[in-house]
Structure 1
């Protein structure tokens, strides 16, 4: 089946909606056709030509009324369903606000304060990745800690795209943490992962960097007992410091980031109320399978 995604902007909204929806139809074969930055009749004509050659449902976000009308008219003539994905949301909010929405194309992509905050956050992550620039932790919105290859860096970059300045500090056996973490003005969140999963990720990492000469049966980096002890020590450190821990073993980066945002919100709420953080879970649970992971 063909699925046409027509947008007068970058198409990110449509792509996200389509991806989330199609994930629920795993047994269906869908060929998406993405048409972005459609802002003139000439550009729309190319969309309509593609629609005639490969007809299929259309999801669109077009503000220009004449373009919308032309697209809807063509879809009706071809007998294919056509849906403006934001109309119901706009109608609901219009009823709540009691005012008419402005016909503003790509309003979410203007160069406003939010845009520059995301760019600033991206620069921050680049400068404070993997323990770099420890003195700058004081400027962070959140700090992620965890053993090597526990997805700290990709999570930080995902958060930066949301405008969050995220520092990440590795927990390395035998190495002291930066003193800035002792009394950080931002929430600190630990990331942990199951032993076998971490070993497989690290082995893949060694293969990528060409570490063929490393004896994988004796290298502490991937030795099962050493890795298990490393994870447990990191969990115990987080418990001692009162830092919440997220088990990322079966979580996507998006899910991990969403949980970090929830923990950040809870941290700020406790700061506002002046209450103590909840006690972390048993640090051995996620390592030895004795209970739920944080």
Structure 2
């Protein structure tokens, strides 16, 4: 099999990219011609009064006369940026702008990034609820667990537009698809494989849940957090981690990975050694997904 060359980018190159021409990655342009006095009068006063009246009579008319139906809010509080941790709302802006660009590039959906400077889940929920009328969908991003679960669940309950937490569901969808294909290539049965999930954040939880729904037995998945293997009887587990606790004598990654068929890394770089890989089963499947640097 021909090896694929891995591209590498320096910090300087990335910074220059973000600072070239206009700073950042997104801008707003008009979808209507703005070349004459008449165009301006229709776009703003007095012409804009007509759609205002229509929307006041029928809120659903906003989908006909505004960008609402094709506009997504990409939202973060910066509490779990990539794999770098809590660096604050403003520091998350390059990532959110990047996600907005992906929406436009691959689906022609317009998106605006909104960074909420708060670590209070209820405050974040209230903020999103109050400006949600302007959008056709909400994309949550880089919000630390367990707040991300609480925020998404509540927003789905109170809003009438789609709410999607990309770190959970986007990661779970592509990883599960990759697992299904890898199992087909390696001729392994999804009901008989053993999986080690290194990480216990939002993406790890969602991937594990989808793996189980896809046929992997609960007892065949070992999840590991900063303190080690999540096992039944371990103290101070929250409700989300408790759902993935299993009966096992393993306490470390090195112990848990012996004989495993699949390694899913969603934690930090450098944790997976050659010795650990050699201790796995024949033809192991490895998803080194730590971001920005893999395991």
TM-score normalised to the size of structure 2? 0.28
Greater fraction of residues in helix: 1
Choose 1 or 2 for highest CA Rg. Answer: 1
TM-score normalised to the size of structure 1? 0.28
